[in-house]
Amino acid sequence: MRKIVIILGIVTGIFIHRSAMAQDSQYRWGQISFVPGFGTSLGANDSITNYYSFNILGGNQYALQGFELGGLFNFNQHKVTGVQVAGLINKTGTETIGLQVAGLTNINEGQVSGAQIAGLLNKSGAETTGMQAAGLSNLSAGSIQGMQVAGLSNWVNGEVTGVQASGLINKSSERVLGAQVAGLLNLAPAIQGIQISGLSNKTDSVKGVQLASLQNQASLFQGAQISGLINTSGSTKGAQLSGLVNKTGRLNGFQLGIINIADSVEAGAQLGIINIVKKKGMFEFGVAYGDVIPWNLSLRTGTNQLYSILSVGSQFDDSQGDELWSYGFGLGSKWYLKDKVFTSLEIVSHELRKHQDDPETLNLLNSVQFNFGYQFFKHLSVTAGPVLNIYVAQMDNSNLDKPNFDIANKPFYEHQEGNYKVQMWAGYALSIRF
């Protein structure tokens, strides 16, 4: 114990001597404080910058150019250039150039050039150039060039050039040039780069990529929106890919989802179960008669360039008393030869089932239809044309030469591979669409 007291006395004496030598200078070799007001310096009132500062519990100094270590807290009323390390809090009254490390929080009233690392919170009162890393939140009152990493949230009152990464929320009041990565939500008025969130991304203008498990939202979009549920934008140049719904005003690009909605398609296409285009789009119901499943109801949605087909059909009066029914999906394209005369090419795949005693086997009827049509009125047209039927089915266990449903009419091609058989034959289809 006596040795420790002697050592502390010698060190304190050296600091007092150095301080006395630099009493009229703007800089001091260093100081030791137990608490503010109890140490080798007059604290913030002496207007002297320390090269080294050691605060056993805490200190309140004028400025720092070097290194400062505090057991609990380090306070400097003016500029800090160098390194501050504190068990709880570092606080700077103006600018920090260098590194602040604290167990709890770093607070800087001016701009930061360097890094702030805290267990809880980092705050910059102006622009930040460098990095903020906190267990809870990072706050920057001005723009940031660099990186923010937080367990909960990042907030920037300005522009972000770099990366924001948080467990919950990233928010920038001005555009982001770089990346926002959040566990829950990303917010920015504009972004050039990428937004990745566990839940939702929201911005006014995007040039780049939005990736979210639930929702992406933008007013003007150029790039790719990818979400598990919903993408929305006022105008899209690029691609919207979702697990459920894509919605945009003007589409110049591609939509892929179960439901695709656009006010207009200026260039590009939609691919989904249902495609809705409000201006010059296709939304047609149809009743068709064919050679295999005589009666079919269909819905065509999209544009003339590319539309989706939902279809369901049935045999209502089979001579053997063993009627079939079908459901299917397909794609088509339509071209006008003259004002009211058109052709269309459609590829549809139907799964065949029996109304009773339905076997759990593969019975896939694929058809390629080339139709000629005439538009009688704005909402009424008729079509007719040849059909190439391609039937892929499992074999009947009681008769290995025939499929479960023997529907082929004079097939010109047959091939069997194991328990599966492929047959091709020509057919026909007539329809009324409205």
Residue 342 predicted with pLDDT over 80: yes
Percentage, residues of the chain above pLDDT 90: 74
CA atoms within 13 A on the CB side of 321: 0
Residues 401 and 371: their CA atoms lie apart, in Å, by 33
For 424-434, what is each residue's pLDDT tens digit?
999 999 999 98
The yes-or-no verdict on residue 393 having pLDDT over 90 is no
Residues 6 or more apart in contact with residue 415 via CB below 8 angstroms: 421, 422
Q: Quick one: pLDDT at residue 11?
A: 42
If one compares 226 and 398, the residue with the highest pLDDT of the two is: 226
pLDDT at 109: 93
How many C-beta atoms surround the C-beta of residue 336 within 10 A? 12
pLDDT grade, residue 316 (50/70/90)? confident
Residue 82 has pLDDT above 90, yes or no: yes
pLDDT for the residue 399: 59
Phi, psi at 243, each rounded to 5°: -80, -15
Longest dimension (CA), the chain: 117
Please tell me the predicted confidence (pLDDT) of residue 317.
Answer: 64
Query: How confident is the model over 159-186, as a mean pLDDT?
Result: 96
Taking residues 96-102, what's their average pLDDT? 96
Q: What is the pLDDT of residues 103-127, one digit of tens each?
A: 999 999 999 999 999 999 999 999 9
Write down the pLDDT at residue 39: 76
Amino acid letter, 434: F
Distance CA 382, CA 123 (A): 70
- pLDDT (0 to 100) of residue 37: 82
Residue written as tokens 């939609």? 270
State how far the alpha carbon of 224 is from the alpha carbons of 66, 137, 264, in Å.
48, 29, 18
pLDDT digits (tens, 9 = 90+) for 13-63: 444 444 444 444 588 888 998 988 887 877 667 788 999 999 999 989 889
Q: Find out whether 47 and 28 touch, Cβ atoms under 8 Å.
A: no
Token pair, residue 165, equals 């990464």
* pLDDT 10s digits, 231-249: 999 999 999 999 999 999 9
Query: What confidence score (pLDDT) does residue 123 get?
Result: 96
Of the ranges 99-108, 160-169, 400-409, which one carries the lowest mean pLDDT score?
Answer: 400-409
The SS3 call for residue 263 is: strand
Nearest Cα residue to 173 out of 206, 140, 198: 140
Reported as a pLDDT band with limits 50, 70 and 90, residue 320 is low
pLDDT score of 7 more than 70: no
- Of the ranges 7-11, 196-200, 246-250, 412-416, which one carries the lowest mean pLDDT score? 7-11
Confidence check: pLDDT of 357 > 80 = no
Average pLDDT rounded to a whole number, residues 171-187: 96
Per-residue pLDDT at 355 = 74
**Which residues have C-beta within 8 Å of that of residue 387, sequence separation ≥ 6?**
290, 291, 367, 368, 369, 426, 427, 428, 429
CATH number of 282-433: 2.40.160
22, 28 Cβ separation under 8 angstroms: yes
pLDDT at residue number 334? 95
Rounded Cα gap, residues 188 and 267, in angstroms: 28
pLDDT at 418: 79
| The pLDDT value given to residue 428 | 94
Query: Residue 319: which pLDDT band, with cuts at 50, 70 and 90?
Result: low
Residue 1, pLDDT above cutoff 50: no
Paired sense of beta strands 200-212 and 399-403, if any: unpaired
- β-sheet bridge partners, residue 99: 83, 115
- Is 371 a residue whose pLDDT tops 80? yes
Mean pLDDT of 59-84: 93
The closest alpha carbon to 390, from 292, 320, 296, belongs to 292
SS3 11: helix
The pLDDT of 243-272, averaged and rounded, is 96
CB atoms within 10 A of CB 408: 21
φ, ψ of residue 131 to 5 degrees: the values are: -140, 140
Helix, strand, coil percent values for the chain (each to nearest 5): 5, 70, 25
Answer yes or no: are the C-beta atoms of 415 and 422 closer than 8 Å: yes
Of the candidates 138, 131, 142, 174, the one whose C-alpha atom is nearest the C-alpha of residue 153 is: 138
Report pLDDT for 5.
35
Task: Give me the residue label for tokens 């544009």.
Answer: 303
CA dihedral 97, 101, 104, 107 (to 10 degrees): 0
What is the structure's pLDDT at 282? Answer: 94
Cut 0.85: pTM above it: no
Measure the CA–CA gap between 255 and 265, rounded to whole angstroms: 10
Strand pairing class (420-433; 144-150): unpaired
- The tokens of 410 are what? 């004079």
Per DSSP bridges, beta strands 38-39 and 27-35 are antiparallel
Q: Return the closest-CA partner of residue 60 out of 41, 85, 87.
A: 41
pLDDT at 25 (0 to 100)? 59
The ranges assigned to domains in the chain are 282-433
Asked if 309 contacts 300 with a C-beta cutoff of 8 angstroms, the reply is yes
CB atoms closer than 10 angstroms to residue 270:
30
